[in-house]
Amino acid sequence: MAHDAYGAKVVISRRSIVLGALLALPVLIYVGLGTYSLWTTGLLTRFWWLLPSCWVLTWVLSKIWRPRRLSSQTQQHDVPIPSHWTARDRAAAQIIRDHQRRIDGFTPEQLIEWQFYQAEAESLAVDLARHYHPNTTDPYSALTVPEVLAAVRLVVDDMEQWLLRTVPGSRLLTIKQWKMLRSAPKWYQRVRDTAWVASILINPVSLARYMSSKLTLDPVSNELQTELLAAIYLRFMRQMGFYLIEMNSGRLRGGADAYRRAFQTEPTLSTVGPVKGTVEIAAQPVTVALVGQVSSGKSSLINALTGTNQAAVDILPETRSVERYQVAVGDPPVTVTLLDTPGFGEAGASTEQMQQIRTALQESNAVLVVMDAHSPARESDLNTIRELEVWYAAHPRLKQPPMLGVLTHVDLLRPTFEWSPPYNWREPTAPKEQSIHDAVDYVRGVFVESLAGLVPVCAGGRGELAWGTHEELIPALTAILSDAQAVALLRAFEKELDRDKFKILLTQIRRTGSELLRFWLEERHPSARRDSQTDHGPDPQNRPLSS
């Protein structure tokens, strides 16, 4: 796929470019040599074979180099999946793809009609609304007017930029010319046939060129026209679907400007790169909660990460409330706040512990599930993760934080008295490596897809022989850092939208009252209106003031 000077994808395929170039080649040659020169020197008769030869070659190549189905082009116009999208948003993206794949059933006549695009947009909007509001008979009733206006504005803005920078000649394309695309083959054939009649009358040899053009040029030009219209339709559905997802997710209720400031600092739909600018809401700190059973090694892990002995370590459940620690992770470094939650027993957490853990999990942007490698009891860990998943299922606007499993005390795995790190546990060859590999594989099977990753560590008790924190955990934590930042961004954005909403309402009421009062005064007292015109400029229509 070719790109333009802005880095945007060109909508015409390589096949169409080659075929189109072959069609234009003889025209360019004729223009270069000069029609007049060809006529006066007799070269036109000598090179009569050039046009039919190129047309025949184009037709043969079009038969050998078959076009892909239009629905196969949907990958080029696939909906981007931003990092802040939730699982519900990702599922909605498939609805857009299903609508795009219907392109094979449309005709060029349909793809040129504004009413067709309106009907397709309404159909997609209904399907997405039902996805987000499956239990309502009227899925539109929950939407606000600013959300709908913001979605329309964002779609129009994106389509404008895409057309200007990727569609050849779009700056000169008028509405009349756009409508003419529907009948382009018809009027083009009339003009061409008239020219051919004149050419045959002057030179009967042109009859052979006319027949070759009729058999070869028409089908190829129709293919190129359909491909261009299909590309415009696919991009329209992509843009429309993307912002319909953002609208139904509630992220447009603050308006288009607020949405752009928060989210379009990262690439979304823009074909020319991200929107530039500094957005304070995007620079949110990352909070990581550590959860696990009593003596699973959470405190030792925190000490290993921070390089200090801040967290108390004991065989008893030292952490009776949520403690906070800070550590820098990644390059450039990102400040991460660690939440050390209360440890719980194999039977599960108490009511008080679960409330503290639930609060920490709902505040966190990522979760470290800390587990003792040589203990097979995983039921309480599973219950804790399910608690988190249930809570986020009930709050679909928020993105569930990524969860990373950490297996501690791997030094106690068999052979117990062997400890000589580092260990290549992913491709084990030694008994200790095999034990670590088996422990990781067992836990991965228990948690299935709930964990974004699983790493073994030995965080404490071995002094300089500690292993895994920097070799395994830090890289794994860095890998999920972008997802954690997306969780933080989305949560901060939701809080920002809900902040001071009553104060904003009162401000709007006050402004409305002021505007109504000013309007009443201007209508009742012409002098007040003249003063207003002096301040804001004259009445553009110079209409007389009513008394």
pLDDT tens per residue, range 323-346: 899 998 877 788 899 999 888 776
Q: Which of 227, 218, 182, 222 is nearest to 69 (CA)?
A: 227
**Percent of the chain beyond pLDDT 70?**
65
Spatial CA neighbour of 250 closest among 344, 108, 406, 142: 142
Which of 141-145, 261-265, 311-315 is the least confident region?
A: 311-315
Q: Which of 102, 230, 152 is nearest to 160 (CA)?
A: 152
User: 127 is written with which tokens?
Assistant: 């399907």
What is the 3-state secondary structure of 235-250? HHHHHHHHHHHHHHCC
Query: In the predicted model, is pLDDT for residue 81 greater than 60?
Result: yes
Cβ atoms 329, 353 nearer than 8 A: no
Model-level pTM greater than 0.85? no
Nearest in space to 291 (alpha carbons), one of 219, 388, 158: 388
**What local confidence, expressed as pLDDT, does residue 357 receive?**
82
Please report the pLDDT score of residue 146 as a whole number: 87
What is the greatest pairwise CA distance in the chain? 105
Q: What DSSP letter does each residue of 96-164 carry, written as one string?
A: HHHHHGGGGG--HHHHT-HHHHHHHHHHHHHHHHHHH-TT-S-TTTT--HHHHHHHHHHHHHHHHHHHH
Quote the percentage of the chain above a pLDDT of 90.
23
Distance from CA of residue 274 to its chain's centroid?
12
DSSP code of residue 284: P
The helix (H) or strand (E) run that includes residue 158 is: helix 145-166
Task: Look at residue 211 in the predicted model and tell me its pLDDT.
Answer: 57
Alpha-carbon gap, residue 70 to 464, rounded angstroms: 61
- In order, the DSSP letters of 432-455 are HHHHHHHHHHHHHHHHTTS-SEEE
Here the tokens at position 180 are 């003419």
Given this model, what pLDDT does residue 540 score? 45
Is the pLDDT score of 8 beyond 60?
A: no
pLDDT level of residue 299 (50, 70, 90 thresholds)? confident
Q: What does the pLDDT read at residue 2?
A: 47
Q: Is the model more confident about 53 or about 338?
A: 338
Pairing state of beta strands 334-340 and 286-292? Answer: parallel
pLDDT tens digits, residue range 400-454? 999 999 999 999 999 988 888 989 999 999 999 999 999 999 999 999 888 999 9
Give the model's pLDDT for residue 319. 47
Amino acid at 475: P
pLDDT at 262: 84
Buried b vs exposed e over 393-403: b needs ≥16 C-beta within 10 Å? eeeebebbbbb
Q: Give the pLDDT score at 456.
A: 96
DSSP character for 544? P
- pLDDT for residue 92: 95
Taking all residues of the chain, what is their mean pLDDT, rounded to a whole number? 76
Residue with tokens 């009967």: 204
* Predicted confidence (pLDDT) at residue 542 exceeds the cutoff of 60: no
Tell me the CA distances in angstroms from 218 to 65, 107, 132, 247, 332, one per residue in order. 17, 16, 46, 44, 58
Sequence-separated (6 or more) residues with CB below 8 Å from residue 181: 108, 112, 225, 229
Residue 85: pLDDT band with limits 50, 70, 90: very high
d(CA 263, CA 114): 30
Token pair, residue 445, equals: 């099977």
Strand partners, 334: 329
Q: How far apart are CA 133 and CA 285, in angstroms?
A: 32
Helix axis angle, 206-248 to 114-132, nearest 10°: 30
31 Cβ partners below 8 Å, 6+ apart?
none
